[in-house]
Amino acid sequence: MDVSEPILPGPAHALASLLDVPEPDGALPLLWHWLYLLDRPAQADLGPDGHPVRNAVLAPPGPGRRRMWAGGRVRTPGALRFGEPATRQSEVLAVQEKAGRSGPLTFVTVAHRITQSGRLVVDEEQDIVYRAGAAVGAPPDDGPEVPPAPGEWPIEVTPTLLFRFSALTYNAHRIHYDRDYSRSVEGYPGLLTHGPLQAVAMAEAARACGVEGALEFEYRLVAPLFDHQGLIAAAVPGKETTTAVRDRHGRRTAAGTLRKLRE
């Protein structure tokens, strides 16, 4: 499936305001392409959880399956620039069935390639997991709070922030903004903080350390993060920049590695 549109500064301005980070000048930082070239399914094509169930590159493998973002890999050999049209090509690369403790799991790898002015600027693979519809249960006790250390970036996670990020990325998944649905239907203790938001936070922590340009970023979500648990991101630059997200009690929920590409 191909999607084409001009890259305009409005969505980038909105994300910068949402996270209180520097607004990009001329080209998008790492992962900000997630605000552009979006699928916009018809309302009639959405399932009860808010995700499309038909007429989409990625549709659930069966009724009642819960969708989770597990991680991904992104290469940005070029800069995605404002004021020029771009095209995204998407396809499913692999589907793998496994047995989990809560029932069957379906692992799906989706590829996205974005070109602009005839040049590949984003080469991405996303890992999505579909699980059975059983409730997930509450996370372990939070324990004492661990204050942010020097170099860590705390983000106050509120229902408003989650709703606005959902709107920016055209994500209708109800676990991010409908607390009653998240608790009573999917069995979560609160609103779930987006996996992509955690990945963006890690990328922005690295950008604050001066890690920019042509990059390769591999990241994974290792535990669910809920709105009442906060979000604290960090990046440690080096030959490979390591990134992480933890909650305010010290429990790690995401991790990543950034490498510079040869330009």
Q: Has residue 140 got a pLDDT over 60?
A: no
Q: Has residue 184 got a pLDDT over 70?
A: yes
Rounded Cα distance between 193 and 23, Å, is: 23
Query: Which two tokens mark 79?
Result: 């800069």
pLDDT band at 167 (very low <50, low <70, confident <90, very high): very high
pTM of this structure? 0.93
Strand partners, 192: 226
Share of the chain above pLDDT 90, in %: 76
List, in order of start, the domains of the chain with CATH numbers: 2-260 (3.10.129.10)
- DSSP classification of residue 175: G
| CA 76 to chain CA mean position, Å | 16
Helix (H, G, I), strand (E, B) or coil at 70: strand
Range of lowest pLDDT (7-11, 16-20, 141-145, 194-198): 141-145
Sign of the alpha-carbon dihedral angle for 16, 154, 210, 214? negative
pLDDT for 60: 67
Q: 48, 50, 64: which is closest to 135 by C-alpha?
A: 64
pLDDT digits (tens, 9 = 90+) for 40-99: 999 998 888 888 887 776 666 766 678 889 999 999 999 999 999 999 999 999 999 888
Q: Has residue 166 got a pLDDT over 70?
A: yes
Rounded Cα distance between 109 and 70, Å, is: 10
pLDDT digits (tens, 9 = 90+) for 199-252: 999 999 999 999 999 999 999 999 999 999 999 999 999 999 999 999 999 999
Q: At what angle do helices 195-208 and 9-19 cross, to 10 degrees?
A: 80
pLDDT for 23: 95
pLDDT for 134: 58
pLDDT for 111: 96
Helix (H, G, I), strand (E, B) or coil at 18: helix
Contact 227, 190 (CB under 8 A): yes
Q: Has residue 11 got a pLDDT over 90?
A: yes
Contact 23, 6 (CB under 8 A): no
Rounded Cα distance between 22 and 76, Å, is: 20
Residue owning tokens 């920016």: 168
Rounded Cα distance between 44 and 174, Å, is: 16
